[in-house]
Amino acid sequence: MSIIPVSAETPIPPRFRAPRRRLSSYIQRLRSGDEIAHLITLAFAAAVVLITVLLVYELWTHSALPRQRFGWRFLVTSTWDPVLENFGALPFIFGTLVTSAVSLGLALPLGVGAAIFLAELAPPRISQRLAFVIELLAAVPSVILGLLGIFLLVPFLRTEVEPVLKATLGFLPLFQGQIYGIGLLAASVILTIMIIPFIISISREVLLAVPVDQREAALALGATRWEATWRVVVPYAKTGIYGSIFLALARALGETMAVTMVIGNDPRISSSLFAPGYTIAAVIANEFTEATGNLYLQSLIELGLVLFLVTIIINALARVLIVVTTRRGTGHP
Amino acid sequence: MNSRLGWRKFVNAFMLTLTGLCALLSVSVLLIVLGYLAWNGWQYLTWTFLTHLPAPVGESGGGMANAIVGSAKLLLIAAITGIPTGLLGGIYLAEFGGRTFSFLVRYSADLLNGVPSIVMGIFAYTVVVLPMHHFSALAGGLALGVMLIPIVLRSTEDFLRAVPNPLREGALALGASKWKAIATIVIPASIRAIATGALLGLARVAGETAPLLFTSFNNQFWSHGLNQPTASLPVMIYQYAISPYPDWHRQAWAAGFILLMLVLIANVGARLILSRKSPALR
């Protein structure tokens, strides 16, 4: 219509923005299929958002009964009595926190140590192969680790490890009491095996993202390999390593099968790691199909909601920390 | 001065060894897992195990044919629901997406990715099992499908973004419309990577047990159609492992062996294919 080409900066006079023209261009785009392709992919992208909203909505509405009945008391009382319909989640929260904390304590030095070795000290070829093997470890289904836990780890803990711990460190309340094999310690060890791959592979990535000149500068000043790593590279990547720890923590909190199979499933709070315990995920797995009555079922769903909220918050934190570090490291803002 | 240097060299060597040991220990755990499972599982793996239904409690023999078929069924439902959603959502993010809405989609996907699998089971239970009053293959498959979505979505987006822009520009310059450029140039250029991403996702949900416990539940017999409780390998491993019967323990080992082999073959295969691609598409 207009003969003079209109550049983007020139404001278009109103009379040139005739509706017919916009409509025709829309029809043209429609005919070429672009608009349809856009709308179809948009619909599926929107479906992802909808599913997430639905997930939160379902968890929230299906846990309304215990929220009204118990309120915040649900989180801090420790009776779990399906017969009298009195539910408190404290023993499960306790078990979840203890197993996660112990497994983090075990996995952290091992995982970060291995990541440092793979990223900084090992020759690249060996590093790549080992990292590949460790990623495979992350792919082992949790139920299989539980199977090995029952038949390999638990007997080993019962006959070899726990008696020794009791004899040498028995003065601590952590290592007292009857030895069963199953219990908080067994669950923690299984969790350690499950979260180490995450700590290693993410810490390794974060360490690899540290700029090379940081290392060169330290080495040029006469630092040994280890000093350059420990005093320069690791502090640089610290935030990202924290991120990997939080990610591992979120995994540990939500892990179900392997823990359910070796923890003993006994809702009590004990100071000893040898004692059987229970976690939030395990009680949902064990009792969900047996839950009679709405209040019982909804109490289990409220436990799921608690687990959901905690893991989501920790996950978000982990992602932020990792993104901050890798972006800073590679120099792309 | 010299002794201080010696000390520093000693610390260096010591810490190198120590971190090396950490890596060695982590890797050896995998070897123990693989070795012990292979040793036990291979022994108990028989033809009967692969082709027969579970024996009644107390009788020896029997197999897990229904669980193998059930797992395949669940994975099929998961693939049909999860892969297209993740794929098309990923295409939207990489090719069409604006700012705000894309952020929302990415954020939702990350949220879904972080949901503990047992909570995903509760979700499928409230959405499918409660209204239909049935434990069913459909509920289990959908739970796995929803877990698959974020994995496929993020890998699709990453791989599409790795396709160099000149390819798109070339297609557009030749007069192709945008969707034609995407469908005939961009996606074929990265289809192998996207497929392996989906394969990795399937391998991951194949081993999930927790979301199946109260969605597809379990079944000692063949299940027909989609609206019946359905056996699956992970749930069978769980139930047989915690049972008191030695015969069932042996079958749990055999089932664990099959499951682990499937997962590892899918993983190794996918990664080998990915690493053969150009580094831009990794």
Q: What is the ipTM of this complex?
A: 0.89
How far does B140 lie from chain A, in Å, by closest CA? 14
pLDDT at site B279:
46
Inform me whether the C-beta atom of residue A26 falls under 8 Å from chain B C-beta atoms: no
Amino acid at site A22:
R
CA distance linking residue B21 with residue A65, whole number of Å: 52
What number is the average pLDDT over the span B253-266?
Answer: 93
Inform me whether the C-beta atom of residue B64 falls under 8 Å from chain A C-beta atoms: no
Per-residue HEC secondary structure of B3-65 comes to HHHHHHHHHHHHHHHHHHHHHHHHHHHHHHHHHHHHHHHHHHCCHHHHHCCECCCCCCCECCH
Q: Note which residues in 268-327 of chain A have CB less than 8 A from chain B.
A: 281, 284-285, 288-289, 300-301, 304, 307-308, 311-312, 315-316, 319
Q: Note which residues in 132-171 of chain A have CB less than 8 A from chain B.
A: 132-137, 139-148, 150-152
Query: In chain B, what residues touch A48 (CB-CB under 8 Å)?
Result: 85-86, 89, 105, 108-109, 112, 149-150, 153
pLDDT at site A332:
40
pLDDT at site B56:
78
Inform me whether the C-beta atom of residue A65 falls under 8 Å from chain B C-beta atoms: no
* Contact between chains at B108 and A51 (C-beta distance less than 8 A): yes
Nearest CA in chain B to A36: B179
Q: Band the pLDDT of A329: cuts 50, 70, 90.
A: low
pLDDT at site A320:
87
* Contact between chains at B33 and A62 (C-beta distance less than 8 A): no
Considering CB atoms only, which of B27, B241, B268 is closest to A146? B241
What number is the average pLDDT over the span A85-90?
Answer: 90
CA distance linking residue A233 with residue A245, whole number of Å: 18
Helical residues (DSSP H) of B127-245, grouped into ranges:
130-132, 137-161, 165-173, 178-181, 187-206, 233-241
Considering CB atoms only, which of B118, B182, B206 is closest to A284? B118
Most confident of A78-87, A286-295, B196-205: B196-205
* pTM metric for this prediction: 0.88
* Contact between chains at A114 and B97 (C-beta distance less than 8 A): no
pLDDT at site A2:
39
CA distance linking residue B208 with residue B259, whole number of Å: 11
Q: Band the pLDDT of B282: cuts 50, 70, 90.
A: very low
* Contact between chains at B180 and A33 (C-beta distance less than 8 A): yes
pLDDT at site B44:
87
Of A191, A324, A314, residue with least CA distance to A257: A191
pLDDT at site A48:
95
Q: Which of A146-150, B32-36, B122-126 has the lowest mean pLDDT?
A: B32-36
**Statement: residue B19 has pLDDT above 50:** yes
DSSP assignment letter at A11: P
Query: In chain B, what residues touch A59 (CB-CB under 8 Å)?
Result: 119, 122-123, 126
DSSP assignment letter at A323: H
Mean pLDDT over each residue of chain A, to the nearest integer: 87
Phi/psi of residue B236, nearest 5 degrees: -65, -40
Cβ-in-10-Å burial (0-12, 13-18, 19+) of A43 comes to middle
CA distance linking residue A223 with residue A226, whole number of Å: 8
CA distances from A186 to A157, A198, A246, B37, B97 (A): 7, 20, 22, 19, 47
CA distance linking residue A186 with residue B268, whole number of Å: 30
What's the CA angle centered on B248, arms B245 and B249, to 5 degrees? 90
More confident residue, A38 or B98: A38
Considering CB atoms only, which of B97, B153, B179 is closest to A37? B179
Nearest CA in chain A to B25: A110
How far does A316 lie from chain B, in Å, by closest CA? 8
pLDDT at site B16:
87
Classify B245 in phi/psi space as left (phi over 0), alpha (psi -120 to 50) or beta: beta
Inform me whether the C-beta atom of residue B238 falls under 8 Å from chain A C-beta atoms: yes
- b/e string for B102-141 if b means 16 or more Cβ within 10 A? bebbbebbbbbebbbbbbbbbbbbbbbbeeeebbbbbbbb
Query: In chain A, what residues touch B95 (CB-CB under 8 Å)?
Result: 41
With beta carbons less than 8 A apart as the criterion, state whether A189 and A152 touch: no
Q: Band the pLDDT of A64: cuts 50, 70, 90.
A: very high
Nearest CA in chain A to B157: A45
**Statement: residue A9 has pLDDT above 80:** no
Mean pLDDT over each residue of chain B, to the nearest integer: 89
Tokens of residue A159, six digits: 């006959």
Query: In chain A, what residues touch B149 (CB-CB under 8 Å)?
Result: 48, 51
Q: Band the pLDDT of A7: cuts 50, 70, 90.
A: very low
**Statement: residue A17 has pLDDT above 80:** no
Q: Note which residues in 210-269 of chain A have CB less than 8 A from chain B.
A: 224-227, 230, 250, 253-257, 261
Stated as kind and residue range, the H or E segment containing A74 is: helix A73-76
With beta carbons less than 8 A apart as the criterion, state whether B210 and A280 touch: no
pLDDT at site A21:
57
Cβ-in-10-Å burial (0-12, 13-18, 19+) of B8 comes to middle
Inform me whether the C-beta atom of residue B195 falls under 8 Å from chain A C-beta atoms: no
> pLDDT of A107-140, one tens digit each?
999 999 999 999 988 888 888 888 888 989 899 9
CA distance linking residue B226 with residue B138, whole number of Å: 5
pLDDT at site B109:
93
* Contact between chains at A139 and B204 (C-beta distance less than 8 A): yes
Tokens of residue B87, six digits: 């794929």
Q: Which of A17-31, A237-251, B109-123 has the lowest mean pLDDT?
A: A17-31
Q: Band the pLDDT of A333: cuts 50, 70, 90.
A: very low
Considering CB atoms only, which of B9, B121, B241 is closest to A224? B9
Q: Which of A71-75, B44-48, B144-148 has the lowest mean pLDDT?
A: B44-48
Phi/psi of residue A223, nearest 5 degrees: -75, 150
What's the CA angle centered on A203, arms A152 and B204, to 5 degrees? 55
pLDDT at site B225:
79
**Statement: residue A20 has pLDDT above 60:** no
The single residue listed with the structure tokens 């823990």 is: A259
More confident residue, A28 or B103: B103
**Statement: residue A37 has pLDDT above 70:** yes
* Contact between chains at B108 and A225 (C-beta distance less than 8 A): no
What number is the average pLDDT over the span A265-288?
Answer: 91
Nearest CA in chain B to A39: B92
Of A306, A286, A282, A51, residue with least CA distance to B148: A51
pLDDT at site B254:
93
Inform me whether the C-beta atom of residue B1 falls under 8 Å from chain A C-beta atoms: no
